[in-house]
Amino acid sequence: MRRLNILAIAYACNPTRGSEFGVGWGWVNAIASRHDLTVITADFNFIDIDKHLNNCVPLSNSTPRFVYMTNRTWHYRPSGFWIAVEGSLAKPLMNLAYEDWLRYAFAEAEQETKENHYDLVHLITYVGWRFPGRFYQLSIPFVWGPIGGMTNTPWQLLPMLGIRGAIYYGARNLINSLQLTLMKGPRRALRAANGCVIAATSEIKEALWNRFSVRSRVICEVGPPDFTRVSPNERVEDEPLRICWSGTHLPGKALNLLLRAAALLHDIHYTIEILGDGPSGRNWKRLATKLGIDERCHWHGWLTRAASLTIMGDSHVFAITSLKDLTSNVAVEAISLGLPVICLDHCGFADLVTDYCGIKVHAGSEKQIISDLCNALRKLYMDEALRRRLSEGALLRARDYSWPNKMCALEKVYEAAVTIQKENDVAGSTSPTTNLVQMD
């Protein structure tokens, strides 16, 4: 399609961070490779983005113009006080802070559309469905996504999270269900997007249809790193199986399941390379000691992305134990490095991991999950030929999640948005909300 002039909203957008910030940066990078792009983002991203660009690291075929919105004192930023809030029952404060930032960003977007011509506006991050802002009220087509966060944590998994985690995610389930019923902003935004909605996973696509009768296109929210391994990492005979796990140490990431599974591997020589840190880290370290596997666990803490990828690349298998997630950057990074993935068969991992690149475990009871994780690890230790085949399959699977492939899918969404706008203009309407999918 022709080159468009796009206005993007990406509160989280940073070349040095993972999670949502890596999601925002990845999409900005990909979109700018084919279109002219202006990005409204939070001002605390400025230093890292400016340093990245000044170091002559090529972002893409063209460099976007960044508009940095001032972060007020009460607005979220990924440090200090707000990190503690994000992992606690006080997280609604973070949501309110983000919603207020969106209000200021909308005023900036209105000014942008008055001063410049844009073919459409694309809300990228945060990925959560609750707060679309008012960008759908601009006089240009509105694209929203990838969208996530609509599904609840299965109730049978809550006991595995500990008392604090069970309370947190149980409360989240109740609040999420209530918000899905009562919140009007997301309904209006989905209506205005007029089918130009991107679901992060098949699970979210199904939820959008069942809850709002909205059709969407599935495009995974995360993409691979800038490089992929050419050939799988080999494990020589008698070498320990290096198991890598990465994530913020929060109850929902459920590292405790992997630790308990590993404690059953009495006949296997292994190590667990644990990346990240967070509130649950202390309890997990105590659990490892209690289980007698503390000497096998290497706690690396937070590292630079390059250092983290080095540790991942030196590993033989990647384990994901998240009980509530979308797909996560580290999962796609793992397959890009040729690591077979062991995960639960739910969330975005159900889409990502196939029988050719990993082993999926049924998300049933705690005892069953631990047993199946243990069996999967033992299987890959005992059968190096199988592990290597899955490694090769992982490298092939990573190609499906490449940014060029994502952009081919996104181009279809953009084309639909622009076509609908033209049809509305021909019909004599300048409103982006005509001929919309009925949801109420």
pLDDT for 70: 85
pLDDT for 346: 85
Position 291: which residue type?
Answer: L
The token duo for 124 is: 């990228």
pLDDT for 227: 66
* Most confident of the ranges 81-85, 226-230, 329-333, 413-417: 413-417
Contact by Cβ (8 Å): 247, 219: no
Give long-range contacts, CB 8 A cutoff, 24+ apart: 229-232: 229/313, 229/336, 229/337, 229/338, 229/395, 230/395, 231/338, 231/395, 232/338, 232/388, 232/391, 232/392, 232/394, 232/395
Confidence band for 435, pLDDT divided at 50, 70 and 90: very low
Confidence band for 295, pLDDT divided at 50, 70 and 90: very high
| CA 32 – CA 38 distance, rounded (Å) | 9
Q: What is the mean pLDDT of residues 415-440?
A: 62
Please, is 177 exposed, middle or buried when counting C-beta atoms within 10 Å of its C-beta (0-12, 13-18, 19+)?
A: exposed
Residues 6 or more apart whose Cβ sits within 8 Å of residue 289: none
Given a cut of 90, is residue 260 above it in pLDDT? yes
Confidence band for 426, pLDDT divided at 50, 70 and 90: low
Q: What is the mean pLDDT of residues 109-123?
A: 95
Confidence band for 439, pLDDT divided at 50, 70 and 90: very low
pLDDT for 391: 95
| CA 255 – CA 411 distance, rounded (Å) | 38
For the chain, the structural domain boundaries read 5-223+402-426, 241-400
Domain 241-400 sits in CATH at: 3.40.50.2000
Q: What is the mean pLDDT of residues 242-261?
A: 93
Position 119: which residue type?
Answer: D
Given a cut of 50, is residue 238 above it in pLDDT? yes
Residues 6 or more apart whose Cβ sits within 8 Å of residue 222: 22, 23, 26, 326, 327, 328, 329, 331, 332, 401
Residues 6 or more apart whose Cβ sits within 8 Å of residue 300: 273, 274, 275, 308, 311
Contact by Cβ (8 Å): 30, 24: no
Strand partners, 36: 5
Between these two residues, 429 and 348, which has the higher pLDDT value? 348
Given a cut of 70, is residue 151 above it in pLDDT? yes
pLDDT in tens, 27-64: 999 999 999 999 999 999 999 999 888 876 555 557 89
The token duo for 392 is: 């090769």
Report the C-alpha dihedral over residues 424, 428, 431, 433, rounded to 10 degrees. Answer: -50
Confidence band for 71, pLDDT divided at 50, 70 and 90: confident
pLDDT for 340: 96
pLDDT in tens, 370-387: 999 999 999 999 999 999
* Predicted TM-score of the model (pTM): 0.84
Average predicted confidence (pLDDT) for the chain:
88
Q: What is the mean pLDDT of residues 263-277?
A: 93
Contact by Cβ (8 Å): 136, 142: yes
Candidate from 162-166, 362-366, 390-394 with smallest mean pLDDT: 162-166
pLDDT for 53: 86
Dihedral of CA 333/44/59/409: which sign? positive
Domain 5-223+402-426 sits in CATH at: 3.40.50.2000
| CA 433 – CA 438 distance, rounded (Å) | 11
Given a cut of 50, is residue 103 above it in pLDDT? yes
Q: What is the mean pLDDT of residues 314-337?
A: 89
The percent of residues above 90 in pLDDT, for the chain, comes to 55
Q: What is the mean pLDDT of residues 358-380?
A: 95
| CA 99 – CA 101 distance, rounded (Å) | 5
pLDDT for 275: 95
Say whether 241-400 and 5-223+402-426 share the same fold: yes
Confidence band for 306, pLDDT divided at 50, 70 and 90: confident
pLDDT in tens, 174-188: 998 999 999 999 999
The percent of residues above 70 in pLDDT, for the chain, comes to 93
Contact by Cβ (8 Å): 2, 99: no
| CA 89 – CA 169 distance, rounded (Å) | 9
Confidence band for 334, pLDDT divided at 50, 70 and 90: very high
Contact by Cβ (8 Å): 21, 78: yes
Contact by Cβ (8 Å): 105, 70: no
Strand partners, 243: 272, 317
Tell me how far apart the 2 most distant CA atoms of the chain are, in Å. 74
| CA 346 – CA 372 distance, rounded (Å) | 15
| CA 191 – CA 437 distance, rounded (Å) | 6
pLDDT for 17: 79
Given a cut of 70, is residue 432 above it in pLDDT? no
Given a cut of 70, is residue 217 above it in pLDDT? yes
pLDDT for 77: 76
Given a cut of 90, is residue 160 above it in pLDDT? no
